[in-house]
Amino acid sequence: MIKEDFKNIPEKFQRALPIMNKLQSSGFEVYFVGGSLRDLLLNKPINDIDIATNALPEEVKKLFPHSFDTGIQHGTVTVVYKRENYEITTFRNDGDYLDHRHPENVKFVNDLREDLKRRDFSINALAMSPEGEIIDYYGGIEDLKNKIIKCVLNPYDRFEEDALRIFRAVRFTSQLNFSLENNTYLALKEKVSLLSNISIERIHSEFIKMMQGEGWQKGIELIKDSKIYEYMPDLQSNSIEKILNYEYKKIRFSDEVLIWAVLFILEIFPANQVNRVLNKWKTSNEIINNVNEILSFCQKYQKGILDYHLVYGLKRENIEKGIFILTKINNLKLVNNPLREYDLLPINSIKDLKITGNDLINEAGFKPGVHLGKMIKLIESQVLQEKLENDHRVMINFARENNV
């Protein structure tokens, strides 16, 4: 075991100290655990603070009336303190993982070491006392220094227990820009078929997090070499090669929409089957619509459509992503500025018209039907071509004059 003192505990940890002090003064052991310590040692932003204790859930709830069950079957209680939520979990051993995802049962224990050995990777199996003493039973600090992802104890057992750890290993490789320890890599390759037990929603989530990491190409290489792609809808070995081009290495993906748009532009997935593919990935309709907008923008630009038809009706952020793809992925030099074209438009979509179908019915004598729809489209076209002012009264008068 390695112990190191962390003398200046960051403020986010300090805010939880009153909770920990109360547990300690009641005779219990209590530690910070999990990814927050990994991020602390890597000087990365710290997200959620997790706490582990040998106090039983009922004892935690007795000490903290402002608490609620969040995973009581696994020993987790959420304590609310000064409007912040803190998950407090009792030290435990996991029972058998019969579905390769969740333990059938858990057994509460009194030993921190026993609790930490059920964690996935050494870098996530660290603990820190309220006094700032970091406890490392499984070599996590050394692995952080060496930039290695290594399973706690036997990697074959860790992946057999929870198959999602296979993709989590890939994701951490990308997010931290680390390498897989050799035995962990060999176990991952051998156990990859266990991913058949994992839902596409979880694979989707891990894949997007991986693609947003600094070392996303390392992640893609692992997906290819280990044949993880066989458990990812519509992904083929030969198509993966297209994104491993050295030119793309420094590209960083800001969000999920850009990731999917780039993958379709590079034909990693069939470019004409966006809806079908992304529905298989259980992607939201909003993301699908945004990806289609970006692809449409790129296709129009490459066809030489450079007037308002290129940008009208699109979201500004999708135009920005389309420009990113055209310049960084397709290596094009733009002959105009689509964003300037967009900003100069009198309206950016039909929703910007200061008139509605109901206005035409109530003020211009129109009836619901095809004729009404045609008039709205005519007004839209006239405003776009700056032949008609986007003014309510002006458009009502225009509609009356042309209501034949």
Cα 293 from Cα 170, distance rounded (Å) = 30
Q: Does the domain at residues 147-232 carry the CATH identifier 1.10.110.30?
A: yes
pLDDT of residue 246: 59
Contact (Cβ atoms closer than 8 angstroms) between residue 228 and residue 235: no
Would you list which residues are annotated within the binding site for ATP? 35, 38, 119, 162, 165, 168, 171
Q: Which range is least confidently modeled, 7-21, 55-69, 315-329, 370-384?
A: 7-21
Per-residue pLDDT, averaged over 88-110, amounts to 82
Please check the confidence at residue 261 and state whether its pLDDT lies above 70: yes
Per-residue pLDDT, averaged over 14-23, amounts to 95
Q: Phi and psi for 275 in degrees, rounded to 5?
A: -60, -45
pLDDT-above-70 percentage for the chain? 97
The confidence band for 3, taking pLDDT boundaries of 50, 70 and 90, is low
Threshold 0.75, pTM exceeds: yes
Better pLDDT: 71 or 246:
71
Position 351: which residue type?
K
Per-residue pLDDT, averaged over 101-122, amounts to 88
The confidence band for 5, taking pLDDT boundaries of 50, 70 and 90, is low
Better pLDDT: 379 or 306:
379
pLDDT of residue 2: 53
Per CATH, the number for 2-141 is 3.30.460.10
Would you list which residues are annotated within the binding site for Mg(2+)? 48, 50
Task: Write a three-state SS string for the chain.
Answer: CEEEECCCCCHHHHCCHHHHHHHHHCCCCEEEECHHHHHHHCCCCCCCCEEEECCCHHHHHHHCCCEEEEEHHHCEEEEEECCEEEEEEECEEECCCCCCCCCCCEEECCCHHHHHCCCCEHHHCEEECCCCEEEECCCHHHHHHHCEECECCCHHHHHHHCCHHHHHHHHHHHHHCCEECHHHHHHHHHHHHHHHHCCHHHHHHHHHHHHCCCCHHHHHHHHHHHCHHHHCCCCCHHHHHHHHCHHHCCCCCCCHHHHHHHHHHCCCCCCCCHHHHHHHCCCCHHHHHHHHHHHHHHHHHHCCCCCHHHCCCCCHHHHHHHHHHHHHHCCCCCCCCHHHHHHHCCCCCHHHCCCCHHHHHHHHCCCCCHHHHHHHHHHHHHHHCCCCCCCHHHHHHHHHHCCC
Better pLDDT: 10 or 317:
317
pLDDT of residue 403: 86
Token duo for residue 114: 């026993």
The confidence band for 244, taking pLDDT boundaries of 50, 70 and 90, is confident
Q: Phi and psi for 83 in degrees, rounded to 5?
A: 65, 15
Better pLDDT: 247 or 145:
145
Class of domain 350-401: mainly alpha
Cα 209 from Cα 171, distance rounded (Å) = 7
The confidence band for 238, taking pLDDT boundaries of 50, 70 and 90, is confident
Domain regions of the chain by residue span: 2-141, 147-232, 254-345, 350-401
Would you list which residues are annotated within the binding site for CTP? 35, 38, 119, 162, 165, 168, 171
The confidence band for 103, taking pLDDT boundaries of 50, 70 and 90, is low
Would you list which residues are annotated within the binding site? 35, 38, 48, 50, 119, 162, 165, 168, 171
Per-residue pLDDT, averaged over 81-91, amounts to 94
Please check the confidence at residue 4 and state whether its pLDDT lies above 60: no
Q: Which range is least confidently modeled, 84-98, 108-122, 165-179?
A: 84-98
